[in-house]
Amino acid sequence: MAVLDRRLESQSKNFDEGQSNPPDAPNVAQNRRNKTAQTRLTARTPVLARKITGRAGYQKGSSTVNPWNTKKLTRVGMVVVAGALAVGMSACSGSTTASSNNSSAPAAPATSAAAAAPVGENFGSGCASVPKTGAGSFQGMSGASVANAASANPVLSTLVAAVKQAGLVDTLNSLPAATVFAPPNAAFAKIPADQLKKVLADKATLTKILTYHVVAGKKLTPEQVIGTQTTVEKGTLTVAGSGEDLTVNGNAKIVCGNVQTANATVYIVDTVLMPPA
């Protein structure tokens, strides 16, 4: 029995050393070592048990078989074999579980390019005239630069024609961030036709008026837009009011606010803004 105990202790120690890998050892290598230790221990244990059982069946110094010792040590051998199998199965089960846990780790969420230009919470009665679908809709405009977005919206066709006439399309599209006050077709219709024609023919005057509608460097939220803002034209304009009831310079009402484009936040106003003289 002492021999059996020592050999089993030696095998168990080897098996334990096979289990004591660093926490970051690869699962494949761990499984291989566990299976090797299990196979060796399972194969050697019954051999040891049979050898010791055969020896212990004889009384020392006698040729007479001791039946009691043989039965007892046979039972010991069976228990040892069962224990070895249980330990080996437990080791394999632990490795499999660890591998399963690693493979089921959640993947990092993918980012979407569309999230860079979210559609804002629009407000105002004028929003009803914006197309529901297509490039000129709120969703469609959110992915395009401001001048391109406006050109897809039929409500802003006169403004787009003026921007092209002044040669400001690339200037507006290249702004990293901006806030634009955009007069719709109805706002330009308030200007007498002869005066509008004269302004459209005068590039310097047209550029001055259009750049007065642009605040560069900031995509202002409805809360941030309230107050005095400096425009690209170098003049200032003032937004007053609260909630959805906002006016610009006291006479132009924001009829559709917080319209998002890729590089600007747009506020559609019902009147063309005129820079201070």
Q: What is the pLDDT of residue 241?
A: 97
Alpha helices in 157-236 (DSSP H): 157-166, 169-173, 185-188, 193-201, 203-211
- pTM for this entry: 0.58
Joined tokens for residue 111: 């980012």
Give tens-digit pLDDT for 212-271.
999 999 999 999 999 999 999 999 999 999 999 999 999 999 999 999 999 999 999 999
Six-digit token string for 260:
């998002």
pLDDT at 198 over 60: yes
Q: Identify whether the C-beta of residue 49 lies closer than 8 Å to the C-beta of residue 77.
A: yes
Identify whether the C-beta of residue 178 lies closer than 8 Å to the C-beta of residue 219: yes
Measured between alpha carbons, how far is 164 from 215 in angstroms, rounded to an integer?
Answer: 19
Task: State the pairing for strand pair 245-248/252-260.
Answer: antiparallel
Q: What pLDDT does residue 29 have? A: 56
Model pLDDT, residue 44 = 56
pLDDT in tens, 39-98: 565 555 554 445 444 444 444 444 444 444 444 444 434 443 344 434 444 444 444 444
Other beta carbons less than 10 A from residue 169's beta carbon: 17
Q: What average pLDDT does the chain have?
A: 75
Instruction: For residue range 255-266, list pLDDT tens digits in order.
Output: 999 999 999 999
**Burial (0-12, 13-18, 19+ Cβ within 10 Å), 179:** buried
